[in-house]
Amino acid sequence: MSLLEVNNLKVHFHDAAPDRFAVDGVSFSMEEGDVLGLVGESGTGKTVTSMCIGGLLPREKADTEGSITLDGVEIFDCTQKELNRILGKELSIVFQEPMTSFNPVYRIGRQIQESLYVHEKELSADRKKELALDAMRKAGLPEPEKTWRKYPHELSGGMLQRAMIAAAIVTKPKLLLADEITTALDVSMQARILELLRKLNRETKMAILFISHDLHVVNRLCTKVIVMQRGKIVESGNTQEVFANPQHPYTKKLIAAIPSRRSTLRN
């Protein structure tokens, strides 16, 4: 049994044309420790796919077909209560959008330990704080004790992204879903976040589904890659092989469109 199995996933938004599927028959699987990239231009269904995996797609807005199992549990069959138990525990999602980002009125530390209050209620308050500080250290936040007391607006974009990663890993999930998390960051901060993800993957075996429209970044982080176009997977495989020898015209086009840093793709 794979950690994650997505089988013939289809999503149709009620307000879309009858033949327009945001996700149109997507299938893939992930094993423990995998680092898989999901790439494609904006609007190809990457975020909708990730929302389905997290059980976050509003059911009143879209119809879904197919199956998604996480550790053998069918996400589409879960009640809200069961989803709440999985999300933030087995699976954590970090989005680029402010949707899951921090509440401006609470201190960072409190927000990082929040999912321990949901999923690890039995732990003492001290132990929760200890685990949260540990996650902050792992996420590369300097002076965790000091950062703990800060408010979101007091952190830079890169530091906030690290704090979001800390909040995501505090419960030691088996799968981290990262949706465009480096997109808003400058190149050096991007590189540091990639290094951090690599380290977390190496040290904890946490699998990472890394969603990005930036092929350059995916090439540097992911061992396997899936290329999506208009809701469908057009190509997938070992990242190095796909990038060195793309088969599908869309993949070739995406690779050709990578700006100046293109040459480093061959490294």
Ligand X SMILES: Nc1ncnc2c1ncn2[C@@H]1O[C@H](COP(=O)(O)OP(=O)(O)O)[C@@H](O)[C@H]1O
**Minimal distance, residue 114 CB to ligand X, in Å:** 26
Closest CA to 159 of 113, 212, 208, 108: 108
CB 117 within 8 A of CB 194: no
Q: Which is nearer to ligand X, 24 or 114 (CB)?
A: 24
Provide the 10 A C-beta neighbour count for residue 45.
Answer: 23
Q: Which is nearer to ligand X, 40 or 173 (CB)?
A: 40
**Minimal distance, residue 212 CB to Mg ion, in Å:** 9
**Minimal distance, residue 58 CB to ligand X, in Å:** 7
Residue nearest to Mg ion (CB): 47
Tokens standing for 131? 């685990």
Which residues lie near ligand X (CB under 6 A)?
13, 15-16, 22, 40, 42-48, 61
CA 164/CA 74 separation, integer angstroms: 27
Which among Mg ion, ligand X, none contacts residue 19 (Cβ within 5 to 8 A by kind)?
Answer: none
Radius of gyration of the chain (CA): 18
Provide the 10 A C-beta neighbour count for residue 222.
Answer: 25
6, 27, 172, 182 from 228: Cα distances, Å: 14, 11, 29, 19
Q: Which is nearer to ligand X, 15 or 122 (CB)?
A: 15
**Minimal distance, residue 120 CB to Mg ion, in Å:** 30
Which residues lie near Mg ion (CB under 5 A)?
46-47
Q: Which is nearer to ligand X, 52 or 163 (CB)?
A: 52
Strand partners, 212: 39
**Minimal distance, residue 57 CB to ligand X, in Å:** 8
Q: Which is nearer to Mg ion, 3 or 48 (CB)?
A: 48
Which among Mg ion, ligand X, none contacts residue 55 (Cβ within 5 to 8 A by kind)?
Answer: none
Burial of 151 (0-12, 13-18, 19+ CB in 10 A): middle
